[in-house]
Amino acid sequence: MRRFIVYWIQWFPSSQARAIKTEGGRKNLETNYAIEMLNITKRFPGIIANDNITLRLKKGEIHALLGENGAGKSTLMSVLFGLYQPEEGEIHKDGRKVEIRDPNDANALGIGMVHQHFKLVECFSVLDNIILGVEPNQMGFLQKQDARKKVLDLSEKYGLHVDPDAIIEDITVGMQQRTEILKMLYRDNEILIFDEPTAVLTPQEIEELMQIMKNLAAEGKSILFISHKLNEIMEVSDRVTVLRKGKCIGTVETASTTAEELSAMMVGRNVSFHVEKGPLKPGGEVLSVEHLTVAPRSIRTTPSKTCRSASARARSSASQVSTATARRSLSTP
């Protein structure tokens, strides 16, 4: 039988994906987008959190999702991670429509998420948290050594240095965040969602996280970075999608825009980053404190005990007086 291959190019308005039809009718979709969220609508009672939003994440890019608090950023990412189900819209991965009903489906598709409030068991070790739910075992016996080796290899590869045996409640917030990132990498996630990752970090930890994200993108990971901090977005992202009041305002290349333009898209008006200040003119005195003395802590604790004892004696005396009064009332004809 004569064999032949028919090449067929199908252009999608959104992704310009190319479909190649080969013998046997099989299709091999090639697209530049790792994830496409098309016309997503999510409603809650009395509010539309996401109103017909389209978001496309390219392979190997850091894509920022910018918006004020309540703009719908976290809700949109929760839809992608399977925590919420949209009323309308579709999700495509590598050009194919997928159904994400829960986080297990998301993990199976290689989608991981670091939540703003970490999902860690505080009394467990770092290693136990990373492998929780996907524990390696052989004939029912836990194989922690294999997991430890993989975690240490990932830690060294991406610069996520952690102590696998440390207890979560005993380590810093930055280390807890590294543990969350290692949870995604341990599951071989290729699409990484960071929900307000710098909200609880120190300036030094923020710099380290920015570098970690760049390293992950250089390794081919696709990153969705939720934030409302313009300086961080300008530093680390490749493209930015702006949300305002549940609607998508637009997507722009970071290199071709400015912080002023992004802020105007975010709030709907021009924002001045330079505040004009006139000369300082001190007025009259509004507060005056003189001869104030504060006792040391060791001294302050002693009177408190005395006060408590005095209060107890006062209550006891009041009780005795009340009892005596009641007796006199009963004895009076």
The pLDDT confidence band at residue 279, using thresholds 50, 70 and 90, is confident
Distance, CA of 64 to CA of 227 (rounded, Å): 7
Share the mean pLDDT of the chain.
80
Mind listing the pLDDT tens digit for each residue in 176-192? 989 999 999 999 899 99
Question: What CA–CA distance (Å, rounded) separates 36 from 54?
Answer: 7
d(CA 321, CA 271): 69
- What is the model's pLDDT at position 295? 83
Mean pLDDT of 315-329: 50
Q: Which residue has the higher pLDDT, 217 or 282?
A: 217
pTM across the whole model: 0.69
Taking phi first (over 0 means left), then psi (-120 to 50 degrees means alpha), and beta for anything else, what does residue 230 get? Answer: alpha
Among candidates 129, 135, 39, 48, which has minimal Cα distance to 91?
39
Looking at 38-172, list the stretches that DSSP marks H as alpha helix, in order from N- to C-terminal side. 73-80, 103-108, 126-131, 144-158
Considering only residues 51 and 135, tell me which one the structure prediction assigns the higher pLDDT. 51
Q: What share of the chain is helix, strand, coil (3-state, %, to 5)?
A: 40, 25, 40
Q: What is the pLDDT of residues 191-241, one digit of tens each?
A: 999 988 888 788 888 888 899 899 999 988 999 999 888 888 999 999 999
The mean pLDDT of 98-111, rounded to a whole number, is 92
Domains defined for the chain, CATH in brackets: 28-267 (3.40.50.300)
Mean pLDDT value of segment 109-125? 89
Closest Cα partner for 205 from 173, 235, 163? 173
What is the pLDDT, as a whole number, of residue 268?
Answer: 81
How many CA atoms within 13 Å lie on the side-chain side of 245? 3
**Structure confidence at residue 273 (pLDDT):** 62
Query: Average pLDDT for residues 278-299, to the nearest whole number?
Result: 83
Q: Token match 């029912």: residue?
A: 140
